[in-house]
Amino acid sequence: MKSDLSPRMKVAVYGLMLVLLIPFVFPTWWMVTSSVKPISDIFAFPPEIIPSRFDFSTYRQAFELQPFAQQYWNSAYIAAIVTCGTLLFSAMAGYAFARIDFPFANALFMVLLVGLLIPSEVTIVPLFQIFLGWDMINTHWPLILVPVFGAPSVFATFVMRQFFIALPKELEEAARVDGLGRFKIFWTIALPLAKPALGAVAIFTFLHSWNLYLEPIVFLSSPEKFTLPQALTQFTDAYGGAMWNIQLAAATMTAIPVLIVFVIAQRQFVEGLAHTGLKG
């Protein structure tokens, strides 16, 4: 912030920013603190911002009530495969659309983009029938195949294409003169320079897969196959009432990998920007 503000104004501006911060920070704070409260304290009035009693057994119970470690692993490996697959396909497809002259390239790209306009709720029933025919219901295949070849990948392809279009052509021409073929140019020149775009694609693809809810509840039926968002809804007592503190403990654990991925990919994102921002 520029320091031409008077001290009084500064205090006012920072104060305002702190107030605006509350709606963003409070839900997370409430989730984390409630996960270590006894269930009776969660709805106490007046609400306890800082817990007065701690009960860490909720974290243990999350693993006892369900195969939570298995579900954690399910979500993690599915998101990892989806992210890697999407990065690979979208980078190659985006590069092809940006750089290779082939017949009807633009028309084909438009057709591809139409995929973004169809809501997943519309395609879920036909997809169910297709995967039923392939004997893939209650397996993780639909959760991998649908995003990698569906709308998220289309969006990723769009992002990558726009990035490669903006990459100076001379870099590739220099590489051609240096003796590289098309694939090597893609692999050793274009892809390393695409780190910012790849970082962005990685963040949103991972998040999309990690948070996927509709597809798991349609395609999966046994708890050991569940992914985390689906598993979170299953922490209920014998009467179907939510076990809030355990559920929030599970939710807290669910949020951690997202934060980790964000921190890693964000650094790539910024580093990549720093490289390509300097005109070659």
Q: Least CB distance from residue 175 to another protein, whole Å?
A: 8
Contact between 78 and 227 under an 8 Å Cβ cutoff? The reply is yes
Q: Least CB distance from residue 191 to another protein, whole Å?
A: 10
> Does residue 170 interact with another protein by CB under 8 A?
yes
Q: What angle do CA 179, 183, 188 make, to 5 degrees?
A: 70
Q: CB nearer to another protein: give 140 or 195.
A: 195
**Stretch touching another protein by CB under 8 A, among 14-22, 126-134, 138-146, 272-280:** 272-280
Q: Contact with another protein (CB under 8 A): which of 79, 193, 246, 251?
A: 193
Which x/- pattern over 112-151 shows residues binding another protein (rule: CB under 8 A)? Answer: ----------------------------------------
Q: CB nearer to another protein: give 196 or 216.
A: 196
Q: Which residues, in sequence order, are CB contacts of 213 under 8 Å at separation 6+?
A: 229, 230
> Does residue 192 interact with another protein by CB under 8 A?
yes
Please report which residue ranges of the chain form alpha helices under DSSP H.
7-34, 39-42, 57-65, 68-99, 105-114, 120-133, 141-148, 151-166, 169-177, 182-184, 191-193, 195-211, 214-219, 228-232, 244-277
Q: Least CB distance from residue 168 to another protein, whole Å?
A: 7
Q: CB nearer to another protein: give 188 or 233.
A: 188
